Amino acid sequence: MRCEVVAIGTELLLGQITDTNSSWIGEQLALAGIDCYLQVKVGDNQARIVEALRQALDRSDAVICCGGLGPTQDDLTRYAIAEVMGVDLELDDEVAERIAAMFSSRGRDMPANNYRQAEVPAGAWTIAEQPGTAPGLVCPVGDPDVGAHGGKVIYAVPGVPNEMRVMVTGTIIPDLRRRSGADAAVIRSRTLRTWGWSESHLAEVLAPHMVQLDRSGHATVAFLASGWEGLKVRVTAKAPTVAEADAVLADEVEVIAAMLGEQVFSTNDEPMDQVVLDLLAAAGLTIATAESVSGGLVAARLTSRPGSSEVVRGGVVSYASDVKFDLLGVDPGPVINEATAAAMAEGAARLLGADVGVATTGVAGPDAAEGVRPGTVCLGIWVDGAAETITVSFPGDRDQIRQFAVISVLDMLRRRLLRR
């Protein structure tokens, strides 16, 4: 069973909206064992939407259209589907009454334009779930025994994410699994997160094992560089049941984690800040932060997690040099060095009464400072009365450098806590 996704909306092509719907739908299809080999974006033009749908039907058994079901003139999905089906649109009185009732419940009259949302291609039907004014559609294409697209189906869902998700999980996935029959399978993935090695180095280390996987077909491995979320290693397996797929994944994750060692900070897709908080909580330790180059991002990441109040004492954004000197006890002088990072980490811990301190100082750019080039960052941690520091050089723009500093100093602390 193959299903393609066609995301509709000129705003997607212009980059005004990021198409997160297609990726979410792709994930749901994979979990249901439905193959999705292609996702397409097309603007609000009926001829091009029709062309995209026909090409998708030539390749696949089903198509999910996302977007273009609103009440305005540029919402053309239902018209394009009717053209592909070779039928007219018909007003569904029940749907029209349902939409009118939604407006009435909000104390508003329904604009005439909203009747467009109650138009359904002849032979199609609406999806039972309808959280908003736009109904979803199930549109069989052609006679099952006749024609180029016989027995295939187009689904249409709104572009509003919460409305789309209810329809996909409630109607579309179950219908696709029913249509796939005996060929149904489950595709499951697990993600390891790593930090410290480049993507190419990870691939080089795992290359022999990936060759074995290619031969056996048990699972596949893919890499995804995700900034301060870490470099992800995704393992995917396809099997008749969830239990069988999960068993394959458990074995593969164990093998890969052993090969990568301490570079792996999570085998279950957890972020670095959560991993560090869990380690601190397990050890009964509290933490304080002193941040210059990262400007409070370390503290923000830590405190974004539920339960962080039990571990995080607070933080100091010591952006100005005199704050480092007067508040944190840094010796006057240049501040982009490891001695400053060590003093900041210890100073934050002592000032805020924490067991552990972490610190960042450096140059995010675009200009150099103290004769130090942009991207140079000094990181410090203070644990059990002793400081550890490191100087690193990060690529990228100002935001990337600051974000890399955050995950790197947390990774320093993680490794130190594991050795504790």
What is the per-residue pLDDT across 204-221, written as a single tens digit (0 to 9) for each?
999 999 999 989 888 999
Pick from 292, 293, 348: nearest CA to 315:
348
Predicted local confidence at residue 145, as pLDDT: 54
Q: How far apart are CA 395 and CA 375, in angstroms?
A: 6
Predicted local confidence at residue 294, as pLDDT: 98
Predicted local confidence at residue 184, as pLDDT: 60
What is the per-residue pLDDT across 376-392, written as a single tens digit (0 to 9) for each?
999 999 999 999 999 99
- 408 has pLDDT over 50: yes
Predicted local confidence at residue 147, as pLDDT: 46
pTM of the model: 0.76
Pick from 260, 272, 314: nearest CA to 291:
314
pLDDT band at residue 30 under the 50/70/90 scheme: confident
Handedness of CA 158, 116, 41, 83 (dihedral sign): positive
Q: 21 and 7 in contact (C-beta within 8 Å)?
A: yes
What is the overall mean pLDDT for the chain?
94
Secondary structure of the chain: what % helix, strand, coil (to 5)? 45, 25, 30
Contacts for 160-166: CB closer than 8 Å, 24+ residues apart: 160/132, 160/134, 161/20, 161/21, 161/24, 162/131, 163/130, 163/131, 163/132, 163/134, 164/21, 164/25, 164/66, 165/24, 166/129, 166/131
Helix H or strand E encompassing 411: helix 398-419
Helix H or strand E encompassing 121: strand 119-121
What are 1's two structure tokens?
Answer: 């069973």
Q: How far apart are CA 177 and CA 185, in angstroms?
A: 9
- 332 has pLDDT over 50: yes
Helix H or strand E encompassing 221: strand 220-225
Q: How far apart are CA 189 and CA 252, in angstroms?
A: 11
Q: How far apart are CA 356 and CA 345, in angstroms?
A: 8
- 92 has pLDDT over 70: yes
Q: 62 and 2 in contact (C-beta within 8 Å)?
A: yes
What is the per-residue pLDDT across 163-202, written as a single tens digit (0 to 9) for each?
999 999 999 999 998 888 755 677 889 999 999 999 999 9
Cβ-based neighbours of 136, under 8 Å, separated by 6 or more: 69, 126, 127, 129, 130, 155, 156, 157, 158, 167, 171, 172
Helix H or strand E encompassing 391: strand 386-393
**101 SS3 class:** helix
What is the per-residue pLDDT across 113-155, written as a single tens digit (0 to 9) for each?
888 999 999 999 999 999 999 999 999 997 655 444 558 999 9
Report the largest interatomic distance among the alpha carbons of the chain, rounded to a whole angstrom: 84
Higher pLDDT, 291 or 73: 291
What the chain holds in terms of domains, given with CATH numbers, is 3-183 (3.40.980.10), 186-266 (3.30.70.2860), 272-419 (3.90.950.20)
* Candidate from 19-33, 56-70, 138-152, 288-302 with smallest mean pLDDT: 138-152
